[in-house]
Structure 1
């Protein structure tokens, strides 16, 4: 932009141009204002909850897969208790001789009845509902379909009513659903980041439009685009820090409340989703990333708008 003659003559005479704090002092020091801090606070709070949920789901899936890997259950479904006992004894002999089996445990009938009592009530302890005999089996290595088929074939030769089920098979739909929820949470986090950047972009453009005349004067007095951008950066920095702190506290509070509710379920799968140190570190970085994105977006918006206006 061409300088006025008076300013140009002053620069040619070697006088100090009107730069730095002198130039930037003409711009208002007020923040961008509006709802920007609260928008950032809401974004950070939701992101903290979504991130903690995604990490907890990831830990749950990993723990469940590790627990059921190489695990199977043999069921002997025989109404006659005497015949069932004989088949269980024969099945344990086959399992003890199989080199693929690392160990097994016959589940006591009382334990099976206690597990079914919430669904069957007291009927699970009577002869009205015959209970299957269960044998927990642990394989030496992760087995494929062929290995399970061979074991079941050997079992049925001595225990016709026996069948073997890999725990990973019946748990697979649950783990798939948890993985889908994890990816949905990650998608939500990315979406919130984009929406937050868009909010900063709009706030910066509105602030530029409201101070366009003053910015032109600063340019005429020797101020450059970088000095002007730093003023808006500082404004966004203060807003994003305040919003990030409020959102982080609110998000942690909501996360702890949800964790308390899930802990009341007293489920082994829920226990596997506990957050570890690295998870807490990643959650603590959420407001820092929010501040960085906001400041960078404000800077790029201001510089781009100023270049286009020249």
Structure 2
């Protein structure tokens, strides 16, 4: 005979599992991203990214301006006709102009008058001087085609044969070389500064990672105790620091984009006056193209990647 069982409602309820004490509960992630130290690191990364992006933008503007100067200088050569005793300078100038116009590949020729040639010396000698008694050479500016370069050696030989010791051709090769060296130097300086800023970012991440490891030493030991390997712990730190780097890189790159855009807008407003045109002719337009904006975005992404990689390497080295 089966024994009667008490109804389910009368059974004693199973004892519920007691909650962990408050001092043993951990609701925060392994590497907090909202702590004061994390926010400070994100701010440092944002500032360094901003400086690196501005430096890269300035280098891009300088290289672009140098390229424009090179293009302008390369499309023009100059014939210099020197006064000589017993010779008619005006006749020599006309003969040199005729030889230049007859040469294949010369688009145009502009003869500078005696007054215009003397005015070119004012930046060095000052204004108000009487240069009529000085043997100021006369200049002829020759315009070259933009897509081809004529045989200037043949033109130089023709001028030397027709006007020996009087006429000479200057192809501005020295100025082109100097502009090329200046552009390469500015580009190298920009790359060097960006590299130094990224190194500084890596060093800041190293110190922040070691501080986070020291502050979470007990948690790391527990993870080791339950079987977590170094790769798992390093991945956790890498993920958190990558988010910090992404936040800081995005803020720094975004601020740099806003500054460059505002500088371009201000430059367009400057060019409305004669002073702005002179500044633009000397120093460029202070505007970066899409390549410059792409470089700024890339610097922000590189800062995030550097933060993640450096944190992972630091954690692996710390756990050894």
Q: Sort the TM-score into its range (normalised by shorter chain).
A: 0.7 to 0.9
Find out whether 1:214 has 2:249 as its counterpart: no
Identify the match of residue 233 of structure 1 among 236, 239, 260.
239
Describe the SS at the equivalent of 1:205.
helix
Note the alpha carbon deviations across 1:76-116, whole angstroms, 9 max, x for none.
Answer: 12178982211110111111222243432223445444443
Structure 1 residue aligned with 2:12: none
**TM-score when normalising by structure 1:** 0.73
**Of 161-170 and 110-119, the range deviating more from structure 2:** 110-119
Inter-partner Cα distance in structure 2 for 1:221 and 1:286: 40
Contact 1:24 1:231 in 2 (8 A): no
Judging by fraction of residues, say which structure has more helix: 1
Return the match for 1:282 from 290, 295, 302.
Answer: 295
Which residue number in structure 2 is paired with residue 17 of structure 1? none
Aligned to 1:157, which of 139, 152, 161? 161
**Partner deviation per Cα, 1:103-139 (whole Å, 9 max, x = no partner):** 3222344544444333333346751545321111234
1 or 2 for the larger relative contact order (CA 8 Å, sep ≥6)? 1
For structure 2, the 5+ residue unaligned runs are 1-24
Q: Count how many residue pairs are aligned between Structure 1 and Structure 2.
A: 283
Where in structure 2 are the equivalents of 1:289-304 lying within 5 Å? 289-303=302-316
Change (3 A) 1:264 1:296: farther
Partner residue in 1 for 2:149: 142
* Structure 1: segments with no counterpart, 5+ residues: 1-21
Partners of 1:72 and 1:138 within 8 A in 2: yes
Q: Which residue of 2 aligns with 1:90?
A: 95
CA 1:269/1:185 → structure 2, altered by over 3 Å: closer, same or farther?
same
Query: Given that residues 45 and 250 in structure 1 are in contact (C-alpha distance below 8 angstroms), is that contact kept between their aligned partners in structure 2?
Result: yes
CA 1:274 to 1:28, structure 2 compared with 1: closer, same or farther past 3 Å? closer
SS at match of 1:137: strand
Alignment partners' CA distance in 1, 2:174 and 2:286 = 20
